[in-house]
Amino acid sequence: MRQSIRALGWVVTISTLLLFAFLASAVYSILQIAIMNQGIGMGDFQTEFKDGRLILSMPITINNTGYYDINEFEVTTTLSDKDGTLIVTNTTRITEIKRGDTKSEVHALSLSFEDLFSKAKYILFNDTEIKLLISVGFKYAYALGFQISMANISMPWGAPLYGLELKELNVRSFNGTHLFLELSLDFENHSFLDIGGPLHLTVYNENGEQIGEGMGLLYVPSGGRPEEPIPVIVVLTHPESFTGRGYADVSFQFPIIEQPIELGEIEYG
């Protein structure tokens, strides 16, 4: 009986030692891959604009210099605003990287400007920061799982319509079918992109009756601001209701998104 207990004790001791040896070698292998031998290689982000989307792509190379197989490797990038509100995230997975093998993949993050502006409209008018989190996770030696944060980057965001103010809407002429207006507005384009597109005005008289709709063209280069009032030609659907006074709802159509951006209301007359 004592011999059986002693033998069982040896089995437990040896198993424990083997387990600790396995864990130690696995952790050491992880350190080799992730830190010592730089087995996880990530290239620089490449930027592309396509179909109203900003596409960030990054090459990834995994060189498994450890003692065991990597059963699944994944890299995740997440964009959020300064308050932590999720904007977009994506994960790329690579399966089965054998010991001594190397695999490469391109990780891409596709950002719709329409989604961006709908989730965080304030960034159209306010400078802020966009946070980029890059993390990797992998299953190792069919037994262990690891999650490592590779980068947590804050990137400055310049508002395309920084400090927007609708300043003045003047009536230049009226011919019975058309109304000719000039819209003065002020903002500074802090974005890295030029801004160009149609301004749309829905025009009402002082009683709130819609009298027509019109359009003007806005263009402001990166770093610039509007220098002249914008001419707007309004087609009158109810010319008899034009009284010389009223207000207009103003919106701007960014070429890269489908839905117009509401800029506000301004009076005329």
Per-residue pLDDT reduced to its tens digit, 143-198: 666 677 767 778 888 999 999 999 999 999 999 899 999 999 999 999 888 889 99
Q: What is the pLDDT of residue 51?
A: 72
Q: What is the pLDDT of residue 244?
A: 92
* Total-model pTM: 0.69
Q: Strands across the sheet with 86-97, in order?
A: 86-97, 70-81, 128-140, 144-157
In the numeric block, which tokens belong to residue 32?
């080799």
* Contacting residues for 189 by C-beta, under 8 A, at least 6 apart: 158, 160, 161, 162, 195, 220, 221, 222, 223, 224, 225
- Ramachandran assignment for 101, one of left (phi > 0), alpha (psi -120 to 50 degrees), beta (any other): beta
CATH for 7-157 is: 2.60.40.10
- Does the pLDDT of residue 266 top 50, yes or no? yes
Which helix (H) or strand (E) covers residue 115, if one does?
helix 113-119
Domain spans of the chain, in order of start: 7-157, 162-268
CATH architecture of 162-268: Sandwich (2.60)
- Write the DSSP symbol of residue 260: P
- Does the pLDDT of residue 10 top 80, yes or no? no
- Does the pLDDT of residue 245 top 80, yes or no? yes
Q: What is the pLDDT of residue 46?
A: 81
Contact 57, 108 (CB under 8 A): yes
**Encoded amino acid at 82, one letter:** K
Contact 68, 40 (CB under 8 A): no
Among residues 81, 85, 153, 84, the alpha carbon closest in space to that of 124 is found at 81
User: What are the pLDDT digits (tens) for 183-230?
Assistant: 999 999 998 888 899 999 999 999 999 999 999 999 999 999 999 999
CA 80 to chain centre: 7
Tell me how far apart the terminal alpha carbons of the chain are, to the nearest angstrom. 106
User: CA angle at residue 94 from 100 to 75, to 5 degrees?
Assistant: 110
Domain 7-157 and domain 162-268 have a common topology: yes
C-alpha to C-alpha distance for 268 and 170, rounded to whole angstroms:
6
CA 22 to chain centre: 42
User: What are the pLDDT digits (tens) for 96-133?
Assistant: 878 778 888 888 888 877 777 777 788 889 998 888 88
User: What are the pLDDT digits (tens) for 21-60?
Assistant: 434 444 545 555 554 445 677 777 787 777 767 788 888 8
C-alpha to C-alpha distance for 234 and 171, rounded to whole angstroms:
11
